[in-house]
Structure 1
Amino acid sequence: MTKSAQRRTPLWARLSAVFGAVLMLTSGVVLVTGSALIAEYTGSIEADGSLIGAPAAGATRGSAEIKGPMNILMAGIDPRDDHTAPLSDSIIVAHIPASMDQVYMFSIPRDLYVDIPAFAPTGFTGGSSKINAAMSYGSSTGDGKHDVKQGFQLLAKTVTQLTGIQTFAAGAIINFGGFKNIVEAMGGVTMKIDMRVRSEHLQPSGQPRHRRPECADNSCAHPYIGPQKTYKPGTYHLKAWEALDYVRQRYGLPHSDYDRQRHQQQFIKAMAKEVMSKGVVTNPAKMTRILGAAGDALTFDGNGHSVLDWGLALKDLNTDSMVSIKLSGGALYDGKNYLGEKLAPGSDEFFEAVRQDRIQEFLLAHPEFVNKNS
């Protein structure tokens, strides 16, 4: 994957996975608006049985009850035509323990340098690259077109190889094309801003900043000029464009993409609280708008179970105690050449705790893995 190809994906695509988490982790609560309404609009969500691949030997899709411990894999993509290879610019895993009352979220850095396994459908023989390229390497259909659902299968295999998580109970692709409508249908979102952030992309009015003429070919690291929207620490009710702009930013932040990952996870929690508030769950008209918008944004593989089934199974989750986990890291070089990011020591032990459903015990012993400002 060339650097120019990676630059073609707008940064805000990286946050697009977040509503997949919110939809799956809170849809049980919104049943108070009426199961008929939910069934009507979740029916518009594209259900696909090909995201997480075939079940393990001896297992049958949908034959088992939805129960923990389990892991859900979500990837966010920028809306693209089927002639352009997709990049998974947001990768989030949600772990739900056996108790089914808690959610632990961790993001996998998009620039993490990993081994991507071979993938027979595309003839990809395997190799090392940034993890966000896995979906691209797995998406070609051989006729000049690309299938993001097929690409997700290779992403899932890559995450499995990285983490040791052998199976995912569900998977979701969230397309940013319908995402902004979801936040607008919610009437915005109230969230805590934990640091001063200046927008690389928007003016204070929300209008796009002007692009420098010499950067038309996307060759500049900072292609925009003019006044910048600034977000100051505090708790605010953000309009849709403000919330989405805030969580897309990484330039100028002390820890760049790692700060952005934390902001994305904060956004998930804020959206979950917003969906569960009385102003939403008891408002059928608002729920109609939200679920209708979700149908344009989400492709979901529930391992044989529908979104409604998942909503019922996860109805006891406590979003107030949703735990946001940080996987720290740093730059990886081959001599003077930047390859991507690497994970910090202790990450393998964390993945082992996920596999063994011992995250709570691990975090008690390693509190540095918890995002303090989540």
Structure 2
Amino acid sequence: MRNSKITWAVVAGVVVAVLAGIGVAIAVRRGSTGADAPAPAGRASTPVPESTPSPSASPSPPPGADLTGPLDLLLVGVDTRVTIPDWQTHADAIMLLHVEPGLKSGYLYSLPRDLRVRIPAFKKSGFAGGRHKLTEAMAYGSRVPGRTTRNIANGYELLARTISGYTGVKTIHAGAILNFGGLDKLVDQLGGVDLTIDRRVESKHRRPDGTARTLVGGDYVGPQAVYLPGKRHLTGWQAIDYARQRYGLPNGDYDRQRHQRQLVKAILGRALDRGLTDASRLEPVLTALGRTLITVGGRRPVEYAYALRGLSPANITMIQLDGSGVGSGSGYLGEQLNSEARGFLRAAAQGRIAAYLKAHPKLVNRG
């Protein structure tokens, strides 16, 4: 049994934030409609006067102790590309973690970034709604009318509403929005991660020494980092580079989604294996995560962290949802999930994942 004193903030940073697999930026708590949640239970009780002590009085439960599940968490990786003028903030990695009642086991699955969905109208950004790629919900929601700045929290809100409408998951209880900037430092602080690579992966972005490849005429040139099959120990830059690749893989983005989930599980396992139980060991990890952990709504990440303290990597089942491209004529419009994957989403919304996977075992990533 893991040490029950594992610092809540570690679990908050790793389970609630790092599960998106790509750095750190914003942790949010909202329902699928964007309404703030009610204030959490378990606050400190009214102090008892010294003249009338009550030996039998028990301490107030820790914040988050009232959360018993089920929970649905949205984990988003964004590519901000701040060096490119007018770059639209897209959701490049979209994962959902469904945690079963009791919060001891969960299911991690991805939605294709190019999934063709209906994005609802969003008054805050002036977006009229329509059918688009799922990744674009973040961009449309992040717009600030009349300004060039972006409101990432609003982008998350529209993305959450879109996902809720598509999947049928009524409430997304918490989420994390993360960028590419911090994962390499985090993984290095954890001493690297061990991954079992299932096929040869060539990097489009990095040279063997980790420096960026040169972009010429819209394509990258020069020597490439290569990740060979087998059990490998990856440093920070290698881990994020490996999880970013989709070109040259047999199933493109669907293979990349699997690698991202694999990395998520490895990071969580590594953090817990390190036994980060005191502030001196915790501080470097939190520094690597970054300074901008922002909460929105009635719940704080620490509350979900406490509630999820018993969720171990071994009890997270990774799910592969496959699909295919759709288009109009010769034009590519996006992706659509196959019937088996859509059935899984219905099962998730209805709270019967285990039964569905028993009938559809090929959806489970093994190994």
TM class, shorter-length: 0.7 to 0.9
SS of match in other structure, 2:195? strand
User: Contact 2:30–2:173 (CA<8 Å) still a contact in 1?
Assistant: no
Deviation, 1:133, is 0.4
Paired with 1:131 and 1:266, the residues of 2 have a C-alpha distance of 22
Q: Which one has a larger percent helix, Structure 1 or Structure 2?
A: 1
* Residue ranges of structure 2 left out of the alignment (5+ in a row): 17-23, 42-63
Alpha-carbon distance in structure 1 between the residues aligned to 2:232 and 2:343: 37
Q: C-alpha separation between the residues in 1 aligned to 2:181 and 2:292?
A: 7
Q: 1:334 to 1:34 in 2, by over 3 A?
A: closer
CA contact (8 A) 1:190 1:236 kept: yes
Q: CA deviation at 1:91?
A: 0.8
> Contact 2:104–2:315 (CA<8 Å) still a contact in 1?
no
Q: Which structure 2 residues correspond to residues 39-78 of structure 1 after superposition, within 5 A?
A: 53-55=33-35, 60-63=38-41, 65-78=66-79
* 1:173-209: CA deviation from partner (whole Å, max 9, x where unpaired): 1122233221121121111111111111122222222
Q: Does the CA contact (< 8 Å) of 2:29 and 2:175 recur in 1?
A: no
Deviation, 1:111, is: 0.9
Number of the residue aligned with 1:194: 198
Provide the C-alpha distance between the structure 2 equivalents of 1:298 and 1:143, rounded to a whole number of angstroms: 27
Sequence identity of aligned pairs in percent? 37
One-letter identity of the residue aligned with 2:102? S
Change (3 A) 1:254 1:130: same
Contact 1:173 1:300 in 2 (8 A): no
Amino acid at match of 1:368: K
Amino acid at match of 1:322: I
| TM superposition score normalised by structure 2 | 0.82
Q: Tell me the residue number matched to 2:323.
A: 329
Question: Which residue is 1:139 aligned to?
Answer: 142
Question: Contact conserved, 1:179 with 1:297, CA < 8 A, in 2?
Answer: no
Q: Counterparts of 1:37 and 1:204 in 2: how far apart (Å)?
A: 32
Q: 1:7 corresponds to which residue?
A: none
Q: For the structure 1 residues 175 and 30, does the alpha-carbon distance in structure 2 shift closer, same or farther, using more than 3 Å as the test?
A: farther
Equivalence map 1:1-374=2 (5 Å): 32=5, 53-55=33-35, 60-63=38-41, 65-81=66-82, 84-144=87-147, 145-212=149-216, 215=217, 220=218, 223-277=219-273, 279-282=274-277, 284-296=279-291, 298-301=293-296, 304-373=298-367
> Residue 164 of structure 1 contacts residue 351 of structure 1 at CA under 8 Å; is this kept in 2?
yes
Per the TM alignment, residue 292 of structure 1 is displaced from its structure 2 partner at its CA by 2.2
Distance 1:46 1:331, change over 3 A: closer
Deviations along 1:125-180, whole A, 9 cap, x unmatched? 11111110001111112132210111111101110111011111112111222332
SS of 1:310's partner is helix
- Distance in 2 (CA, whole Å) between partners of 1:283 and 1:190 is 24
Q: What's the secondary structure of 2:362's corresponding residue? A: helix
Q: 2 CA distance for matches of 1:123 and 1:230?
A: 44
Deviation at 1:263, TM superposition (A): 0.3
| Alpha-carbon RMSD | 2.9
Aligned residues: 332
Note the C-alpha offset of 1:45.
8.0
- d(CA) in 1 for partners of 2:350, 2:167: 12
CA distance change for structure 1 residues 135 and 205 in 2, over 3 Å: closer, same or farther? same
Per-residue CA deviation, residues 343-362 of structure 1 (Å, 9 max, x unaligned), is 11122321121112211111
CA distance in 2, matches of 1:38, 1:339: 38
Query: 1:172·1:299 contact (CA, 8 Å) conserved in 2?
Result: no
Measure how far apart 1:332 and its partner are: 0.5
Distance 1:37 1:361 in 2: 33
CA 1:297 to 1:267, structure 2 compared with 1: closer, same or farther past 3 Å?
farther
Structure-1-length-normalised TM-score: 0.81
